[in-house]
Amino acid sequence: MVLREYGPRDLSANPDIAAHEFALLGTLHGHGLPVAEPLGHAPGALLQGFMAGDSGAEVGVDPAALAGFLARLHALSTEGLPLRPLPAVPPPAGPPDDSLAETRIRSALAAHPPPTGRQVLLHGDLWPGNTLWLHGTLSAVLDWEDAALGDPHADVGNTRLELLFAAGPDAMQTFTRAYADAARADLSALPVWDLRAALRPCGRLHTWGLDSAQERTMRERHAQFVQAALDAIQGR
């Protein structure tokens, strides 16, 4: 078993987070998705079953398998689930981080706000470090404290950027094609959601404990991601 204790940030945002995640995991586990079985909860703590596997941040991931998981998640009914709505685009936390083009991103989002589409269950933070892999198979998706109700593009854009950071453009494109096929999704609005995802590292990348080579690569890939989204929005 694994005992998870929530930190002050999560508890201040949602004092009932343990009960909500317990209910959510129960639904997901009941539908056969690769998540930990919820065993019990108390204020600020969740007891769940142990899931075998190695972190995707260490062993790598199968982008198509991630896409298949996300398509299955987004197809589930959200009726009765304790989900908060996807938060709005957050305001700047301080001076804009223009080393990551924050001003350009925010200007584009102000002119082209993310459209409100189909509302689905979002994981909210699907990246390799929140997955476990056993013999090359996705064995678990972890950390559901950011789960929300919102447009599926939000998850797709975030995971695209994370895969670009971790594995490069080919992995990102493989994931995107596999998701579109599995979910039978029209991803024409994706560039705007990519820009929303691109805000997440702004002002924070230097706190991620990266070595200089990793940070340089991520900055280069972030710039490519943002420019591609801006070009798509502007019809170039």
For residues 134 and 127, what is the distance between their CA atoms, to the nearest angstrom? Answer: 17
pLDDT in 10s for each residue of the chain, 236 residues: 999 999 998 999 899 999 999 999 999 999 999 999 999 999 999 999 999 999 999 999 999 999 999 999 999 999 999 899 999 888 887 899 999 999 999 999 999 999 888 999 999 999 999 999 999 999 999 999 999 999 999 999 999 999 999 999 999 999 999 999 999 999 999 999 999 999 999 999 989 999 999 999 999 999 999 999 999 998 86
Q: Which residues of 157-189 are buried (b: 16+ CB within 10 A; e: fewer)?
A: bbbbbbbbbbbeeebbebbbebbbebbebebeb
Query: Can you list the alpha helix ranges (DSSP code H) found in the chain?
Result: 8-13, 17-30, 56-59, 63-75, 102-111, 152-167, 169-183, 190-198, 212-233
Q: What is the model's pLDDT at position 27?
A: 96
Write down the domain spans for the chain.
1-50, 62-233
Q: Is 64 helix (H, G, I), strand (E, B) or coil?
A: helix
Q: Which residue has the tokens 């062993």?
A: 59
The string of pLDDT tens digits covering residues 110-147 is: 999 998 889 999 999 999 999 999 999 999 999 999 99
CA distance 148 to 97: 27
Is residue 13 helix, strand or coil? helix
CA distance 96 to 126: 25
Distance CA 234, CA 53 (A): 43
Closest alpha carbon to 21 in 38, 34, 2: 38
- What is the model's pLDDT at position 24? 97
Q: 62-233: what CATH class? A: alpha beta
User: What confidence score (pLDDT) does residue 236 get?
Assistant: 62
The position carrying tokens 């001076």 is 95
